Amino acid sequence: MHAGRMIAVGTPAELRGLLGTRSMLEVRAPDVLAALTVLEHEPRALEVSAFGTALHVLVADAARDAPALVAVLTAAGQSPCEARPIVPSLEDVFLHAIEHAEDTRGEVRA
């Protein structure tokens, strides 16, 4: 539920399926807010959100995109940094579902 509307229904596994074949990366950098700003402008980063002291970044392909994002952050002065694949949390899925629901103005079902 978001803003009084049902945006997704399903088991945790079904809800994670809303992300399709995309992957979630956990990105750590010295300045998480500066890294967030950099990655918000990076085309490989499909969605970026702060998650504690790290970022969760939705990408098309973790093996290809993780090294590229580390290179982008390093070039922006965010070194040392790292990006590793993780299982998306239900919060990640919720944020994705909200964004998708706002884009389509419709209900999303897993």
pLDDT digits (tens, 9 = 90+) for 45-69: 999 999 999 999 999 999 999 999 9
Inside any domain, residue 28: yes
* Domain assignment present for 44: yes
Whether the predicted pLDDT of 37 surpasses 90: yes
Q: How far apart are CA 85 and CA 65, in angstroms?
A: 10
> Which helix (H) or strand (E) covers residue 35, if one does?
helix 32-40
* CATH, residue 68: 3.30.70.100
The per-residue pLDDT for 60 is 93
Would you say residue 109 lies in a domain? no
Residue 48 covered by a domain = yes
How many CA within 13 A on the CB side of residue 75?
Answer: 9
Helix (H, G, I), strand (E, B) or coil at 87: coil
| Domains in the chain, number | 1
Q: Is residue 47 part of a domain?
A: yes
**Structural domain harbouring 67:** 22-88
Q: Please give the single-letter amino acid code of residue 53.
A: T
User: Is the distance from CB of 86 to CB of 24 less than 8 angstroms?
Assistant: yes
Domain presence at residue 70 = yes
Whole-number percent of the chain with pLDDT over 90: 54
107 assigned to some structural domain: no
Express each pLDDT in 89-101 by its tens digit. Answer: 777 677 766 776 6
* Residue of 23 and 100 predicted with greater confidence: 23
